[in-house]
């Protein structure tokens, strides 16, 4: 009997398959995630520096987003919810 994980349409992509489609829309995040494409074929001992670099890049982008003020759309939503009380 064939299980879902035995088929090509299983939940996990085959090693080396591009699994980052579509792009996130944020070039820095896409560039960080593209580093993961370097993992297949490399010895496991070389994986850690790549993971650490990806993590650092993503943390930097998220940290930058966290320091920005609330967006205008969020301000409008908050104002509308307060007005309805």
For residue 54, which of 71, 26, 33, 72 has the smallest C-alpha distance?
A: 33
Closest among 35, 33, 15 to 24, alpha carbons compared = 33
Domain ranges of the chain: 26-68
What are the pLDDT digits (tens) for 62-72? Answer: 998 877 666 65
The shares of helix, strand and coil residues in the chain, as percent rounded to the nearest 5, are 60, 0, 40
Q: Could you tell me the pTM of the whole model?
A: 0.55
Torsion of CA 32, 38, 6, 10, to 10 degrees: 20
Q: Tokens for 6, please give them.
A: 């035995």
The predicted-structure confidence for 8-59, as pLDDT tens digits, reads as follows 555 555 555 555 466 888 999 999 999 999 999 999 999 999 999 999 999 9
């Amino acid at each position: 009997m064939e299980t879902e994980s035995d088929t090509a349409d299983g939940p996990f992509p085959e090693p080396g398959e591009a699994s980052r489609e579509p792009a996130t829309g944020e070039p820095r995040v896409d560039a960080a995630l593209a580093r993961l494409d370097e993992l297949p074929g490399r010895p496991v001992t070389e994986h850690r520096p790549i993971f650490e670099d990806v993590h650092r890049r993503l943390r930097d982008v998220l940290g930058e987003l966290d320091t920005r003020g609330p967006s205008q759309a969020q301000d409008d939503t908050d104002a509308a919810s307060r007005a309805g009380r």
